[in-house]
Amino acid sequence: MKYVLVTGGVVSGLGKGVTASSIGVVLKACGLRVTSIKIDPYLNIDAGTMSPFEHGEVFVLDDGGEVDLDLGNYERFLDVTLTRDNNITTGKIYQSVLDKERRGDYLGETIQVVPHITDAIKTWVESISLIPVDGKEGPADVCVIELGGTVGDIESRPFIEALRQLSFSVGQENFCLIHVSLIPVLGVVGEQKTKPTQHSVRDLRGLGLTPHLLACRSAQPLLENTKEKLSQLCHVAAGNILNIHDVPNIWHIPLLLRNQNAHHSILQQLNLLSIAMPPDLRDWTKMAETYDNLTNSVRIAMVGKYVAFTDSYLSVVKALLHACVACSLKPSIDWIAASDLEDDSATLTPEAHAAAWETLQNAACILVPGGFGDRGVKGMILAAKYARENNVPYLGICLGMQISVIEFARSVLSLERADSTEFDEHTPNPVVVFMPEGSRTHMGRTMRLGCRRTLFQTPDCITSKLYHNSEYVDERHRHRYEVNPDVIGILEEAGLKFVGKDDSGRRMEILELPSHPFYVGVQFHPEFKSRPGKPSALFLGLILAATGQLETYLDQHPNTS
Q: Would you state the pLDDT for residue 190?
A: 78
Give the start-end residues of each E strand in 196-258: 213-218, 241-245
Domains in the chain, CATH or no CATH each: 7-195+204-288 (3.40.50.300), 294-556 (3.40.50.880)
Q: Would you state the pLDDT for residue 242?
A: 95
Q: How confident is the model at residue 446 (pLDDT cuts 50, 70, 90)?
A: low
pLDDT digits (tens, 9 = 90+) for 145-162: 999 999 989 999 999 999
Q: Would you state the pLDDT for residue 558?
A: 65
Name the DSSP class of 485. Answer: G
The b-or-e profile of 537-559 (16+ CB within 10 A means b, else e) is: bbbbbbbbbbbeebeeeeeeeee
CB 63, CB 528: distance < 8 Å:
no
Confidence check: pLDDT of 441 > 80: no
Q: Is 398 a catalytic residue?
A: yes
Confidence check: pLDDT of 121 > 90: yes
Confidence check: pLDDT of 251 > 50: yes
Residues 6+ away with beta carbon under 8 Å from 362: 299, 334
Q: How confident is the model at residue 491 (pLDDT cuts 50, 70, 90)?
A: very high
Give the start-end residues of each E strand in 268-427: 297-304, 330-337, 365-368, 394-397, 418-420
Which one from 143, 327, 398, 461 is the annotated catalytic residue?
398
Beta strand pairing call for 66-67 and 448-456: unpaired
Q: How confident is the model at residue 561 (pLDDT cuts 50, 70, 90)?
A: very low
Which one from 252, 322, 516, 525 is the annotated catalytic residue?
525
Confidence check: pLDDT of 402 > 90: yes
- Gap between the Cα atoms of 340 and 344, Å rounded: 8
Q: Would you state the pLDDT for residue 437?
A: 57
CB 427, CB 417: distance < 8 Å:
yes
* Model pTM score: 0.93
- Gap between the Cα atoms of 17 and 37, Å rounded: 11
Instruction: Summarize the confidence of residues 7-16 as an average pLDDT.
Output: 87
Confidence check: pLDDT of 205 > 60: yes
Cβ of 10: how many Cβ atoms within 10 Å? 19
Q: Is 527 a catalytic residue?
A: yes
Cβ of 28: how many Cβ atoms within 10 Å? 23
Q: Is 55 a catalytic residue?
A: no
What string of DSSP letters covers 147-188?
Answer: E-S-TT-GGGHHHHHHHHHHHHHH-GGGEEEEEEEE--EETT
Average pLDDT value for the chain? 93
Query: What value does the CA radius of gyration of the chain take, rounded to a whole number of Å?
Result: 25
Query: What type of residue is 442?
Result: H
Which one from 66, 407, 482, 527 is the annotated catalytic residue?
527
- Give percent of the chain with pLDDT exceeding 90: 86
